Structure 1
Amino acid sequence: MPDSLPVHINRKELHGLEVPDTFETSDSFDVRLINHGESTHVHLHLDDSLSKLAALEATNYHVDRDSERRVRVTVDGDGETRGNLKVVTAYGSTTRYVDVRIAEPEPEDEPVQVDEDLAKPQPKRDSNTGFALADVPDEQVLAVGGAVLFFAVLAAFLSQNLLVVFLALLVAIGTLVAVYAAAAR
């Protein structure tokens, strides 16, 4: 799709306007006001349906003699619409309409960024071992074991219940085994 809509002014006659019949886009675009003759003012207007998705910064533009001026039409909304762009010169004596269709933008295929580290072979872990206590630092094992042992003894002392005392004893034995395994490394 073209990114600019050409409008020829004064090419064949004074105050003459030549515009394409239709224009299709999916994004913001420029209206190229190409003046082939005397300086003039050009009025641009988007109809109601185009104004829902697009906007002009201003509506009146001065185009110097034998020059070109670009006017940005900013497409902000999502969706499709069709409407008319009105182009007027010579204080309304010459008017032309361009049938403008704003289509949905094509989805862009964004490239996938791959980190260089991904190409390097990763060390293989034995899938049978899973999580090993040996992977945990000794200080953490001792700290958690001490805290568990403290709360187990406290619960047994406060409850004076035989079941709680038995469970606290099991926790204490498990903690001592974990501490012994950590120390054996």
Structure 2
Amino acid sequence: MTDSLAVAVNRDGLHTLAVPTKFEASGPFDVSLHNHGEAAHVHLNLDDRLSDIARIGATNHYVDAGESRTITVETRDPSGWPSDTVRGKLKVVVGHGQETHYVDVTLDRTAANGTVRVDPELGKPNRDPDPELPPLARIVPVVVLGSVAVLLAIGAVFTGGGIDILVGGLAIVAATLCAAAAYYLLG
């Protein structure tokens, strides 16, 4: 749906205008001219800021007595706007300059039909091959290696002779592996 700015021409007498002082749109909009009296020429002009992103096909519009006419103000693709919000003035003139009104126009591309712009990257699948492990699965290797180290140390205490050195060395290796696994998995 296109926003519409209503302009009443000759409602309060010959060459008079009734125009809102402010107007907001999210993109292209219409200027609806409603002539309540004698035929008239209505001129529409955009200031420099608005004319950077918008345009009117023709600036001079003849509106016959009792006639309504709609003029579309086209805008560039919002991605080409200098910012999300552009403010400027629309000049409305009747009777070849006898009456002039300025409308403060705000074009806000973020309000476009309530739509939300989504980054296309969000539609691509996640290529991360390292999914998060549940906490229990992360701690099982630490518990197993720690238990092996404790069993080897207990075995070294109850055994005698030259095998003590071998079992003690294995206990040190198991304890080192347990510490490395804990650092990697829990850190």
TM over 0.5: yes
Q: Contact 1:6–1:31 (CA<8 Å) still a contact in 2?
A: yes
- 2:19 is equivalent to residue 12 of structure 1: no
Q: Is the 8 A contact 1:33 1:69 kept in 2?
A: yes
After TM superposition, which residue ranges in structure 1, 4 or more long, deviate above 3 angstroms? none
Aligned counterpart, 1:50: 50
> What is the aligned partner in structure 2 of residue 32 from structure 1?
32
| Paired amino acid for 1:12 | D
Gaps of 5+ in 1: 111-185
Aligned counterpart for 1:80 among listed residues 64, 76, 85: 85
Q: Is the 8 A contact 1:54 1:75 kept in 2?
A: yes
Match of 2:13, SS state, is coil
In 2, the alpha carbon distance for the partners of 1:64 and 1:44 equals 16
Displacement of 1:54 in angstroms is 0.8
Query: Structure 1 residues 84, 109: CA separation in 2 closer, same or farther (over 3 Å shift)?
Result: closer
1:108 aligns with 2:115: yes
CA RMSD of aligned residues (A): 1.9
Unaligned runs of 5+ in 2: 79-83, 118-187
- Pairwise CA distance, 1:2: 7.2
CA-to-aligned-CA distance 1:111-158 (integer Å, 9 cap, x gap): xxxxxxxxxxxxxxxxxxxxxxxxxxxxxxxxxxxxxxxxxxxxxxxx
Question: Size of the alignment, in residue pairs?
Answer: 110
Q: Secondary structure at the match of 1:92?
A: coil
The alpha carbon displacement at 1:93 in A equals 1.2
CA displacement at 1:17 relative to structure 2: 0.4
Letter in 1 for 2:22: T
Q: If the length of structure 1 is used for normalisation, what is the TM-score?
A: 0.56
| Structure 2 length-normalised TM | 0.55
Matched residue type, 1:83 = G
Moved more, 98-107 or 84-93: 98-107
Match of 2:148 in 1: none
| Contact 2:2 2:30 survives alignment (8 Å) | no
Give CA-to-partner distance per residue, 1:61-114, whole Å, 9 cap, x none: 00011110000000114232101000001111110000000012346259xxxx
Contact 1:52 1:77 in 2 (8 A): no
